[in-house]
Amino acid sequence: MPELNTITKTVIVTSALPYANGQIHLGHIASTYLPADIYTRYIRLSGLTVYHVCASDDFGTPILIRSEKEKKTPSDYVSYWNRRDLKDFQSLAINFDLFSRTSSPENKSLVQSIFNKLQSNGYIYEKEVIQPFCPVDKKFLPDRFVVGTCPNCGAEGQYSDLCENCGKVPEEILDPKCWICGSVPIKRSSNHYFFQLSKFSDKLRDWLIKNSNLQEDIKKYVLNWINNGLVDWDITRDIEWGIPIPTSDANGKVFYGWFDNHICYISSLLILAEEHKKDGKQLWNESAIFHFIGKDIVYHHYLFLPAIRLGIDQEYKLPDYLPTRGHLLLKNKKLSKSRNWYISIEDFTQRFETDYLRFYLASITPYSQDDVNFDWDTFREKINNELIANVGNFINRTLTLIQNNFASSVPKISKLESYDNEAIDRIHTIGTEVGTKIESNHLNRALMDILAFSSFLNSYFQHKKPWSSSSVDTTLYISVNAVRTLAIVLAPFIPNSSEKIWYQLKLGDSVHKQEWSSSGVLRIAPGHVIGKIVPLFKKIDKETIEKLQIEMTGK
RNA sequence: GCCGGGGUAGCUCAGCAUGGCCAGAGCGUUCGACUCAUAAUCGAAAGGUCGCGGGCUCAAGUCCCGCCCCCGGCACCA
């Protein structure tokens, strides 16, 4: 189990780069961005310096073709999606210290210098490849852009890299056609650069085995890939939209997107370091590096990315952690934009509070590559019965009683009974319990601990009967301090609501500027006057969900 | 086909590495209590052949063998 107390330096968190050709959806949020944001918020509250960087992935054939169809320059096209994605992230309170782009000048120059170093270290070679070329569009066509009939099962209209009907990868697709214009592609030869991934098999194996911070089950199948023999990577693309390969005979060829996009983690951090007047390379190499990803890009992050860093003599160090999570399913079916089976960020934020999504997704997403199911009925039940009835209710009943019976002034503490001592003890320890789980990336379990804490408090409150008994003051004093504790430990998960709690407690400043360890201190003193109390959450009624299900199905 | 993960209460899952208190949690269900609180809360109960079959052991959900079933990955998809 990784423990944060071993990390004493700066932490660098990166989230996988969204491809700049369409909206991000709930699946991306659940697997990558929300876990990274929760983690970052927690580290920040713990008092360490943390940088969360991300960027839009701007290059590639799909973007080039889409921008042409929309009669925009690729540059304008990706700028739009860069801003749009950022807006979506912000609407979910997912914050970055920098949201850059792979097409930034800084990334271009770093990518080219890394290529040069790989080349001088002898890890790059050239080879002729024969590729389909569309004579009408005057483009080389990646596999995805050649459609035809599957030679295995005879299904028509299949991509040349995968038959969706029989699931096989066709050797050579029959009756090939250009996906863009429908004409028949011809074969054309082109000189490409290859990265010698195969040379790194032993070093990658060593790194995987030695790095105990990586998830064991993922390690197993990555090791299996290595044992089956790694294949060198073609890092060249014959298109005009990308980072130019810096050789005299490259003839306008550009890098393949997966060569340049992960380097953007580093170039973004360098930009940020510059802003903070720090030595970027030193900062990178002294920090704990976390790359949050979804399981679809395991290959690239567990093999390709570390191999390239090994290939430049670890000028920039390898990742310490690669938190990897599975995909989100909607009603047990895979999300698919082309089939309109997905939930966009807007779909959600137009209807519900941001924190409802964060709470729900965090509570159902484990630290593993298992897929999780998004279900509207479960969503409603979890929000109403766990977040609102348990946590919201405890906060509300505590604060309301102080407001109504004590003129909003926190009462004095008197004689402590064993139940009071137990409650105080729980306040002391909850921060460490939750923190340990967040540090080991078990965010769902951390949230369960918070719910158990809140449940305990409801039970404590119920037994002490502060609305009638003689020990009213002590109970309310402890309870209001427990509310403060809840605000802090919930802050990484539901930041907006935590801030509302903080405001109602009238503690000044922001909950996000507190110290995590202070969650264990009873810092609200008797006599403190709290603010105006309003319910934090609104329950989701059944009709809303039923209506929504009908709307979403018809989408 | 190969590789990986999994099959434990109605649902979602923990427990299995280092076999041993009556097999656990949350949600749901039923009954009772309370009324400060968003009909929220508190207490209690019901509910399980731990996929199937065999084996090792004083003892197996936990180890070994076989079988069945489910899910995911199979590499340039950006």
Q: Which of residues 106-135 of A touch strand B (CB under 7 A)?
A: none
Inter-CA distances, A201 with A24, A70, A197, A207, A229, Å: 34, 43, 7, 10, 8
The DSSP output letter for A386 is I
Find residue A190's DSSP bridge partners: A129
> How many other C-beta atoms can be found within 10 angstroms of the C-beta atom of residue A73?
11
Contact A402, A2 (CB under 8 A): no
Alpha-carbon gap, residue A123 to A321, rounded angstroms: 26
How far does the CA of A327 sit from the C1' of B67, in Å?
31
Q: Is A324 left (phi over 0), alpha (psi -120 to 50) or beta?
A: beta
Report yes or no: A303 and A225 within 8 Å, Cβ to Cβ. yes
**What's residue A292's pLDDT?**
95
ipTM of the complex: 0.91
Cβ contact A324 with chain B strand, < 7 A: no
Q: Can you read off the two tokens belonging to residue A179?
A: 């996906």
Pairwise CA distance, residues A516 & A489, whole Å: 7
pLDDT at residue A123 in the model: 94
Residue located via tokens 């911070």: A213
Q: Is the pLDDT of residue A112 over 80?
A: yes
Residue nearest to nucleotide B26 (CA to C1'): A448
Q: What is the pLDDT of residue A401?
A: 95
Choose which CATH entry (3.30.2010.10, 1.10.730.10, 3.40.718.10, 3.40.630.30) describes domain A376-520.
1.10.730.10
- pLDDT reported for residue A104: 96
The dihedral sign for the CA sequence A360, A366, A369, A375: negative
Give the residue extent of every domain in chain A. Answer: 4-121+203-209+257-350, 376-520
pLDDT at A87: 95
> Residues near A225 by Cβ (< 8 Å), separated by ≥ 6?
A299, A303
Instruction: Give, in Å, how far the C1' of B51 lies from the CA of A162.
Output: 34
**pLDDT band at A334; cut points 50, 70, 90:** confident
- From residues 250-309 of A, which are strand B contacts by CB within 7 A? 256-258, 261, 295-297, 299
Name the strand (E) or helix (H) holding A403.
Answer: helix A393-405
Task: Compute CA A83 distance to the chain's CA centroid, rounded to the nearest angstrom.
Answer: 18
The larger pLDDT score, comparing residue A43 to residue A471, is at A43
* CB of A227 lies under 7 Å from some atom of strand B: no
Among A76, A74, A83, A92, smallest CA distance to A28 is for: A92
CA to C1' distance (Å), from A381 to B28: 10
Distance CA(A355)–CA(A358), nearest Å, equals: 5
Region of poorest pLDDT, from A6-20, A299-313, A421-435: A6-20
- Flag residues 169-208 of A with CB < 7 Å from strand B: 169
- Measure A366 CA to B57 C1' (Å): 36
- Comparing every residue's Cα with the C1' atom of nucleotide B74, the nearest one is A225
Q: Judge whether residue A151 contacts strand B, using its CB and a 7 Å cut-off.
A: no
CA distance A475 to A113: 64
Tokens of A468: 């009638």
Residues lying close to strand B (Cβ under 7 A), chosen from 432-471 of chain A, are 448, 451-452, 455, 458-459, 461-463, 465-468
* CATH fourth-level superfamily of A4-121+203-209+257-350: HUPs (3.40.50.620)
Q: Would you say the C-beta of A144 is within 7 Å of strand B?
A: yes
- Please tell me whether any atom of strand B lies within 7 Å of the Cβ of A389: yes
Measuring CA to CA, how many Å separate A243 from each of A236, A237, A240, A247?
10, 10, 9, 12
Please check whether strand B approaches the CB of A475 to within 7 Å: no
* Nucleotide nearest the Cα atom of A462 (by C1'): B42
Where does A277-364 have alpha helices with state H?
A: 280-286, 298-299, 305-311, 345-349, 354-364
Tokens matching residue A71: 């009669």
Strand B near-CB residues (< 7 Å), A 516-555? 535-539
Tens digits of per-residue pLDDT, A244-292? 999 988 888 899 999 999 999 999 999 999 999 999 999 999 999 999 9
Over 50: is that where the pLDDT of A5 sits?
Answer: no
Q: How confident is the model at residue A8 (pLDDT cuts 50, 70, 90)?
A: low
Phi, psi (rounded to 5 degrees) for A321: -135, 140
What are the residues facing A130 on neighbouring strands? A189
Per-residue model confidence (pLDDT) at position A135: 83
**What are the start-end ranges of the E strands in A270-385?**
288-294, 324-325, 328-330, 333-334, 372-374
Which nucleotides of strand B come closer than 7 angstroms to any CB of the protein?
A: 3-5, 12-14, 25-28, 34-38, 40-43, 71-78
